[in-house]
């Protein structure tokens, strides 16, 4: 007791002395505003039902000195301001029926599992319009269909029970979902409702889709009615009126699709109830304002659909390939994610308002680049683009996204596939990941479970930031330098209790193929062959610095940094 009294007296004397000198004891406490989750945006909706919190795992690291120069760019992050919780279905991808049986390819399956797309679409693309899941070709399908130029050509139908090595059967798709810890989104054959020659082709096609729901038995929650049905390249866009028996127009309209959508949805929802499943059904929308579209069907697609189907859909589907098909430069490509993502979401709000319906969750079930001519799609620029797309989709609050696609065809580098399907030259091994794979893998691993507010000062618009928080307390930021000059970037964290260290990985391209290198280097580690990234991507050592002097990193030209900062526990 005497000791306590002595200590109190000593404290009072010290405080009195400080006051005598004109100083007051430092009693200030830094106030940190807590996080508060916002109301879930309508455009995200139920895609957050399966939200998963994330715990950051500290990587092995190498000490790196902070750059000595002054910062040219400052990233300001407000840890307390949550933009959205991160839907895990934003990292999805597309399978297709010509990529092989998947489950017979352990290298590919292992890479997909590591990528963790969480959702894989099937059969996806134009094939879904001629795909018969049960392996039975109906007697009422025509021998010929129209091509995109309006010419009749021999129809080529696909069957879901084909177990040949070159294709993907339905059952092996289901098996691949299980092996990669993914769920599915299935595109049913809507076009059969158009080109079928029965008395009621819409009902027959809807019944076939409902039977798929019954066969699925709840394994798949998300379903799409058709694929790009308003496009002339799609089977069923134009039909042979001499074979049609229910008075459909030769060219499809959004209003007709809306009428058919309700028939499909009713049949599929009943089937789901029969097997005790909960499903969500999506309708196709034109993703941007079609006022100047070359395709006249686009101009009234959305309005016609809303007029005939109203709010019948559970979610809305859009596709976007961000660029044109010209031989575009890296600068042009890297300007598209910010403008295009916002343009699509702005139009979703506008078109639903004009149609007198509610905004629903938005699923971008296909996205990539269209630009061709310089191997842009297989380059590290495609990886930077993918990074920016993920960040911008989060900022604009999309609910789900699936990149097109896991494997396609080399076509001299004009290949949208994330993996080499075995036809790439220069000795590149089959299923070798392309650069975009590494960017998407690290984005998901080093981006938290909530997006938080960030802004950039300086850098002439070349530097972008996407910030996040982990439920375990850390702060993450993705820094993109889409310019051709190096930048020194400092990161300022508001409403965050910093810990000891920050960890980061720097992604850069190689020197091959001009500005479209097919290689990506992660902290200096690159591929062994002519394309791709480091084989040991799972165990690469991070760069790390202490936060004694804040956070500062050197960001090379055309690079991405994935950074996570410790918090005070």
pLDDT in tens, 234-273: 999 999 999 999 999 999 999 999 999 999 999 999 999 9
Q: Is the pLDDT of residue 356 over 50?
A: yes
Instruction: Evaluate whether 436 touches 383 at the Cβ level (below 8 Å).
Output: yes
Q: Is the pLDDT of residue 10 over 90?
A: no
User: What is the mean predicted confidence (pLDDT) over 508-521?
Assistant: 97
DSSP H or E run through 314 = none
pLDDT score for 330: 98
Binned at pLDDT 50, 70 and 90, residue 379 comes out as very high
**pLDDT per position as a tens digit, 135-162:** 999 999 999 999 999 999 999 999 999 9
**Distinct helix (H) and strand (E) counts, the chain:** 12, 23
Q: Which residue's entry shows tokens 């696609």? A: 405
Going 260 to 119 to 412 to 393, the CA torsion angle's sign is: positive
Instruction: Evaluate whether 67 touches 554 at the Cβ level (below 8 Å).
Output: yes
Going 158 to 159 to 163 to 168, the CA torsion angle's sign is: positive
User: What is the mean predicted confidence (pLDDT) over 526-554?
Assistant: 97
User: What is the mean predicted confidence (pLDDT) over 265-285?
Assistant: 98
Q: How far is CA 340 from CA 288, 336, 344, in A?
A: 9, 6, 6
β 280-284/222-225 pair status: parallel
List CB contacts of 514: < 8 A, sequence separation 6 or more. Answer: 374
Peptide bond into 123 cis (omega under 30): yes
pLDDT score for 28: 36
**pLDDT per position as a tens digit, 58-84:** 999 999 999 999 999 999 999 999 999
Q: Report the interhelical angle of 336-354 vs 301-309 (nearest 10°).
A: 40
How many Cβ atoms sit within 10 Å of the Cβ of residue 352?
21
How many Cβ atoms sit within 10 Å of the Cβ of residue 273?
12
List CB contacts of 53: < 8 A, sequence separation 6 or more. Answer: 449, 471
Average pLDDT over the chain reads: 94
Q: Is the pLDDT of residue 166 over 90?
A: yes
Q: Is the pLDDT of residue 223 over 50?
A: yes
Largest Cα–Cα separation, the chain: 107
Quote the pTM value: 0.94
List CB contacts of 336: < 8 A, sequence separation 6 or more. Answer: 322, 323, 385
DSSP H or E run through 8 = helix 2-20
pLDDT score for 124: 84
Q: Is the pLDDT of residue 409 over 70?
A: yes
Q: Is the pLDDT of residue 18 over 60?
A: no
Token output for 233:
């390249």
Binned at pLDDT 50, 70 and 90, residue 30 comes out as low
Size (the chain), residues: 569
Q: Is the pLDDT of residue 320 over 80?
A: yes
Q: Is the pLDDT of residue 211 over 90?
A: yes
Q: Is the pLDDT of residue 380 over 80?
A: yes
pLDDT score for 569: 77
Residue 126 CA to residue 311 CA, distance in Å, equals: 26
List CB contacts of 90: < 8 A, sequence separation 6 or more. Answer: 390, 393, 394, 398, 399, 400, 401
pLDDT score for 459: 85
Phi–psi pair at 270, nearest 5 degrees: -65, -40
Q: Is the pLDDT of residue 12 over 90?
A: no
Residue 110 CA to residue 87 CA, distance in Å, equals: 23
**pLDDT per position as a tens digit, 172-197:** 999 999 999 999 999 999 999 999 99
Q: Is the pLDDT of residue 453 over 70?
A: yes
Would you list the DSSP string of 316-375? EEEEE--S-SS---HHHHHTHHHHHHHHHHHHHHHHHHHTT-----EEEEEE-----SS-
Topology classification of domain 52-85+450-567: Immunoglobulin-like (2.60.40)
Q: How far is CA 159 from CA 52, 136, 240, in A?
A: 36, 7, 23
User: What is the mean predicted confidence (pLDDT) over 517-527?
Assistant: 98
Q: Where are the domains of the chain?
A: 52-85+450-567
Q: Is the pLDDT of residue 312 over 90?
A: yes
pLDDT score for 17: 38
């Amino acid at each position: 007791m005497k000791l306590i009294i002595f200590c109190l007296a000593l404290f009072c004397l010290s405080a009195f002395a400080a006051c005598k000198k004109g100083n007051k004891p430092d009693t200030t406490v830094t106030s940190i505003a807590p996080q508060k989750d916002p109301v879930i945006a309508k455009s995200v909706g139920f895609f957050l039902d399966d939200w998963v919190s994330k715990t950051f795992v500290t990587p092995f690291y190498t000490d790196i000195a902070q750059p000595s120069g002054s910062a040219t760019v400052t990233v300001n992050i407000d840890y307390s301001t949550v933009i959205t919780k991160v839907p895990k279905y934003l990292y999805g991808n597309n399978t297709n029926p010509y990529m092989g049986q998947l489950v017979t390819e352990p290298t590919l399956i292992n890479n997909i599992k590591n990528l963790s797309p969480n959702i894989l679409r099937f059969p996806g693309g134009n094939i879904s319009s001629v795909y018969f899941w049960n392996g039975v070709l109906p007697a009422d399908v025509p021998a010929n269909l129209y091509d995109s130029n309006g010419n009749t050509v021999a129809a080529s139908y696909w069957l879901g029970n084909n177990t040949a090595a070159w294709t993907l059967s339905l059952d092996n798709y289901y098996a691949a979902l299980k092996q990669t810890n993914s769920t599915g989104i299935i595109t049913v054959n809507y076009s059969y409702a158009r080109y079928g020659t029965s008395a009621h082709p819409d009902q027959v096609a809807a019944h076939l889709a409902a039977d798929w729901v019954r066969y699925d038995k709840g394994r798949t929650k998300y379903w799409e009615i058709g694929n790009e049905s308003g496009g002339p390249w799609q089977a069923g866009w134009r039909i042979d009126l001499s074979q049609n028996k229910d008075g459909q127009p030769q060219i499809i309209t959004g209003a007709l699709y809306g009428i058919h959508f309700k028939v499909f949805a009713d049949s599929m929802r009943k089937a789901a109830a029969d097997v005790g499943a909960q499903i969500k059904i999506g309708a196709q929308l034109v993703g941007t304002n079609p006022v100047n579209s070359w395709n006249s069907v686009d101009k009234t697609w959305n309005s016609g659909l809303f007029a005939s189907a109203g709010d019948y859909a559970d979610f809305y589907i859009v596709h976007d390939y961000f660029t044109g098909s010209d031989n575009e430069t890296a600068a042009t490509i890297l300007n598209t994610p910010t403008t295009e993502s916002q343009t699509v979401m702005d139009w979703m709000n506008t078109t639903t308002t004009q149609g007198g319906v509610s905004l629903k969750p938005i699923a971008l079930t296909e996205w990539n680049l269209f630009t061709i001519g310089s191997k842009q799609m297989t380059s590290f620029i495609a990886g930077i683009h993918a990074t920016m797309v993920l960040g911008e989709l989060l900022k604009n609050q999309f609910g789900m996204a699936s990149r097109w696609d896991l494997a396609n065809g080399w076509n001299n580098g004009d290949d949208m596939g994330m993996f080499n399907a075995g036809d790439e030259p220069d000795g590149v091994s089959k299923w070798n990941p392309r650069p975009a794979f590494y960017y998407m893998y690290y984005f998901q691993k080093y981006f938290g479970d909530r997006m938080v507010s960030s802004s950039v000062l300086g850098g002439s618009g070349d530097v972008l930031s996407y910030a996040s928080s982990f439920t375990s307390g850390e702060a993450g930021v993705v820094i993109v330098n889409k310019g051709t000059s190096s930048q020194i970037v400092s990161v300022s964290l508001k409403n965050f209790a910093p810990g000891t260290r920050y960890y980061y990985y720097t992604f850069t391209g190689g020197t091959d193929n001009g500005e479209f290198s097919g290689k990506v280097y992660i902290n200096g580690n690159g591929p062994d062959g002519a394309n791709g990234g480091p084989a040991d991507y799972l165990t690469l050592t991070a760069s790390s610095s202490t936060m004694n002097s804040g956070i500062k990193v050197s960001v090379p030209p055309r690079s991405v940094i994935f950074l996570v900062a410790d918090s005070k526990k």
